[in-house]
Structure 1
């Protein structure tokens, strides 16, 4: 399990707000905290979790592979922190000889909603807003109302032509799933859990679908922490 502290705010009078959350991660996945301890976590990834490399990588290239992966994770962490991220989760060990290209971010959401508005009312509004095409479902997470949106993200070819080379190289079609969850006993506060994967290159393939199912299973283990 992993634990992350939410930004502490005075708890509401009617209850005690959680100070964090817990998730059960699949084997080979790790948490990178984005508010505190990011550098230490990245060092731990490099020295403790990357002893394996994918099949086909020569031993002489193993260190270069680890350095490249460290840089990619660090780049993801910086971008996630800029967008209000609390934690970044990534796979760092190969499964079946390959590395999974996937990640998810837990972030606080500055919705700007009235703190007195019931969560169901806020979710109804969010479900009706224009957004990425895909499936929007009302669900429960940790016994609280939540919203799940599943969609495909395909870069706009015209915009990519004028984008910097680094952006063009990083942009690729991705399968995305976003959860929006109300913070228990703390009206007006919300978090999101945002998953992204290019899968095996085919966003509708069975393999890509399995990765989405894996993420949904992880969210199913979500619970609030009060310690």
Structure 2
């Protein structure tokens, strides 16, 4: 990892979503972003879609959007990234949530975030250390089975990046969570492609400075 001791502490980050995705801030401007996305979706309804059914379609889209936003907010999300345009006619069942910074105690008083990431990597199957904008980050991936009793209605692939904020006191970390729904009988290779898309998005991660 390249040190950041010659740079000021970052005051935020920038992430570039793929074309056809939208960003929903979860602290302020949420309703405006949701309204914009719903308007765009309604405008993309196929030619010949019954005009009398448009209000019903708009209501359903709004309800689904609110559900996704509630789930992201309940998990401490501060920004939600969603695909709002179809890719080759396919609606991508994926989302990315950037969560509020969290505090993680140091492994030892004199150690830093690298020791925390190494300890977590040793305890998390399939976890590995990667680098994002000169910062070591922990990447993990797993499949989450459907479990309605636990609020998991559909099986999904989850990928997470845990990124320490340089020079934060106490040590704070950002979490980026990616979920791709796994439909029964779906091609695993398609899920792999979607995961590669998320990894490519995380490759655009950059710290921002005052």
Q: TM-score, with normalisation over the residues of structure 1?
A: 0.78
Change (3 A) 1:178 1:139: same
Given the alignment of the two structures, is residue 219 of structure 1 paired with residue 193 of structure 2, yes or no?
A: no
Match of 1:190 in 2: 173
Deviation at 1:46, TM superposition (A): 1.9
Task: Spell out, residue by residue over 1:80-129, the C-alpha distance to the aligned partner (whole angstroms, 9 max, x if none).
Answer: 22222110111111122221110010012423314864111010122233
Deviation at 1:51, TM superposition (A): 1.8
Task: Spell out, residue by residue over 1:137-166, the C-alpha distance to the aligned partner (whole angstroms, 9 max, x if none).
Answer: 11111110001001100024xxx3xx49xx
Match of 1:73 in 2: 65
SS at match of 2:100: strand
SS at match of 2:167: coil
- Counterparts of 2:8 and 2:32 in 1: how far apart (Å)? 31
Change (3 A) 1:26 1:199: farther
Change (3 A) 1:66 1:208: farther
Q: How does 1:191-206 map to 2 (within 5 A)?
A: 191-202=174-185, 205-206=188-189
Q: How does 1:7-18 map to 2 (within 5 A)?
A: 16-18=8-10
2:138 to 137, 141, 147: 147
Larger mean CA deviation between 56-65 and 211-220 belongs to 56-65
SS at match of 2:127: strand
Larger mean CA deviation between 184-193 and 209-218 belongs to 184-193
Match of 2:158 in 1: 176
Q: How does 1:1-227 map to 2 (within 5 A)?
A: 16-48=8-40, 50-53=42-45, 58-60=49-51, 61-114=53-106, 117-129=111-123, 134-156=125-147, 160=148, 163=149, 167=151, 171-187=153-169, 188-202=171-185, 205-227=188-210
User: How many residues get paired?
Assistant: 202
Structure 1: unaligned runs, 5 residues or longer = 1-12
Structure 2: unaligned runs, 5 residues or longer = none
Deviation at 1:215, TM superposition (A): 0.6
- Counterparts of 1:59 and 1:70 in 2: how far apart (Å)? 18
